[in-house]
Amino acid sequence: MLSIVIVGTGNVANHLFNAFTKSREVKVAQVVGRNQDALKSFGSTSAISSDFTQIADADIYLVAVSDSAIAPVSKLLAKKSGIVAHTSGTVEMDVIGLENCGVFYPLQTFTKGKMLDFTAIPICIEAKHESALSVLRRLGNLISDNIHEIDSNKRKRLHLAAVFANNFTNHLYSISEKICEQEDLPFELLQPLILETAEKVQSISPRDAQTGPARRNNKKTLERHLNLLKDEKQTELYALFSEAIKKMYEEEL
Amino acid sequence: MLSIVIVGTGNVANHLFNAFTKSREVKVAQVVGRNQDALKSFGSTSAISSDFTQIADADIYLVAVSDSAIAPVSKLLAKKSGIVAHTSGTVEMDVIGLENCGVFYPLQTFTKGKMLDFTAIPICIEAKHESALSVLRRLGNLISDNIHEIDSNKRKRLHLAAVFANNFTNHLYSISEKICEQEDLPFELLQPLILETAEKVQSISPRDAQTGPARRNNKKTLERHLNLLKDEKQTELYALFSEAIKKMYEEEL
């Protein structure tokens, strides 16, 4: 049995809380956060506190707060003997500033109210000491089959890759939604395409899955599309993507 | 019972063939194409021909060829009384140049060898005459629950939206795969994220689903990410996306 304290009340804290309360091998000793309203949603099954001087003892403190709050929050845990691990993709482990430190970064996009199956979610762990690493691995294994040891330097770059695969992808969905709206077309028309595009790269490398006018260097369609676009940013993105795709495949054309 | 001839042997032809041969209400009278090797894969369950002067009679001719081949192929069907409909997202219906013409455009990305459930795939139909439109609707309903009447002008813009949602999105996946490769990280780490990003917008508007450093205007992370990038096109895309996302949400920040 491992005991944990979750510090933070945002999306990551929420989803980790839901995953861990399902495991009989973990006791969520406490959830700590400043936001009293957000804290209430944890209250029914666990102890909650907004007093950072009254943090319970536990084997692991999961610091699921905003990047800039990791250092100051960690300081408040300086006298604890348990492992202090943050959950951020970008922040280096050393920012915690304590000897018994680590990282427990679940690589997924978390939405309020949308349940997730944690089993397949990659959890990237890191720790200063081997003993802490094995405890974090044990903790991860209780909720996921996908635990990876990844250091701060690699994790930073993995997070950058995730920004392309998630944040920027979502913005492309937004643009496509906008174009539909301008034509009074329902965005639902694109939903099966969006899903299949993502499903395809679960088994095929995206390099091999690329299709479309830029991939075939179909100049006529590229030109027509550019003429249809009115928004400046959309036009710039269209041109830049088309160039980048052409460049990636030019040796094959 | 409707009879159809499929002209073309590419991905769209293949997937339409597979969908229609499952329906007892459609008879695929013939598959016609120049590529003899590709034709063979249709041969076991249907008549095939590479002789365009020997096209069978049918209610509908689905012209699933490359955009530039639609006009010349349609000419070869000038003496037929059935409906001649192409399957392209970008080409105007009138390019067919025949009185009994139409469009039957399945809005999906088709991969060789990857089976698809056609039921949810939107099929965009158009026809010069009401009678042809109702036949195309009947044909579409046999394989999909998602039939939409969309004219050439709107279809062009829908296809443009699909390029953003599919082609460009896939290129973002490629970039994220490249970044992983450079760090010896398995692309598998990003697959659950990619799938969840697509699943999210099946029920939430992408505008509301946007997350990440650009959305929060987290300048520190944006700057760090730009410093990590070495590839020129990746850097340009990163900067342009961050600007576009900031612009979309600036009134909220």
Quote the CA–CA distance of A232 and A237 in Å, as a whole number: 9
Number of cross-chain residue pairs from A and B with Cβ atoms under 8 Å apart:
297
pLDDT band at B75 (very low <50, low <70, confident <90, very high): very high
Output the pLDDT for position A209.
Answer: 94
Neighbouring CB atoms inside 10 A of B183's CB total 15
Output the pLDDT for position A33.
Answer: 96
Domain assignments of chain B as residue spans, ordered by start: 2-150, 155-249
pLDDT, tens only, B129-158: 999 999 999 999 999 999 999 999 999 999
Taking residues B87-101, report their average pLDDT. 97
Output the pLDDT for position B44.
Answer: 75
For chain A, how many residues are written? 253
Output the pLDDT for position A75.
Answer: 97
Superfamily of domain A155-249: ProC-like, C-terminal domain (1.10.1040.20)
- Residue of chain B whose Cα is closest to the Cα of A211: B167
The answer to whether the Cβ–Cβ distance between A196 and B150 falls below 8 Å is no
3-class secondary structure, A195: helix
Q: Are B41 and B63 in contact (CB under 8 A)?
A: no
Neighbouring CB atoms inside 10 A of B198's CB total 23
C-alpha radius of gyration, chain A, whole number: 22
Distances (CA, A) of B230 to A197, A236, B51, B226, B235: 27, 21, 53, 8, 7
> Phi and psi of A55, rounded to 5°?
-80, 135
- What is the interface pTM, i.e. ipTM, of the complex? 0.96
The answer to whether the Cβ–Cβ distance between A165 and B171 falls below 8 Å is no
Q: Distance from first CA to last CA of chain B, Å, rounded?
A: 59
The answer to whether the Cβ–Cβ distance between A164 and B179 falls below 8 Å is yes
Out of A182, A206, A228, name the one closest to residue B174 (CB).
Answer: A206
Output the tens digit of pLDDT for each of chain A's 253 residues: 999 999 999 999 999 999 999 999 999 999 999 999 999 989 777 799 999 999 999 999 999 999 999 999 999 999 999 999 999 999 999 999 999 999 999 999 998 888 899 999 999 999 999 999 999 999 999 999 999 999 999 999 999 999 999 999 999 999 999 999 999 999 999 999 999 999 999 999 999 999 999 998 899 999 999 999 999 999 999 999 999 999 999 866 5
Query: What percent of chain B is helix, strand and coil (3-state, nearest 5)?
Result: 50, 15, 40
The answer to whether the Cβ–Cβ distance between A204 and B111 falls below 8 Å is yes
Chain B closest CA to A148's CA: distance in Å?
Answer: 9
Spell out a b/e string for B91-129, using b for 16 or more CB atoms within 10 Å of the CB, else e: bbbebbebebbbbbbbbbbbbeeeebebeebbbbbbbbe
Specify burial of residue A251 (Cβ count, 10 A radius: 0-12, 13-18, 19+). exposed
Quote the CA–CA distance of B135 and B61 in Å, as a whole number: 12
Which of the four CATH numbers 3.20.20.370, 3.40.50.720, 3.40.309.10, 3.40.50.11060 does domain B2-150 have? 3.40.50.720
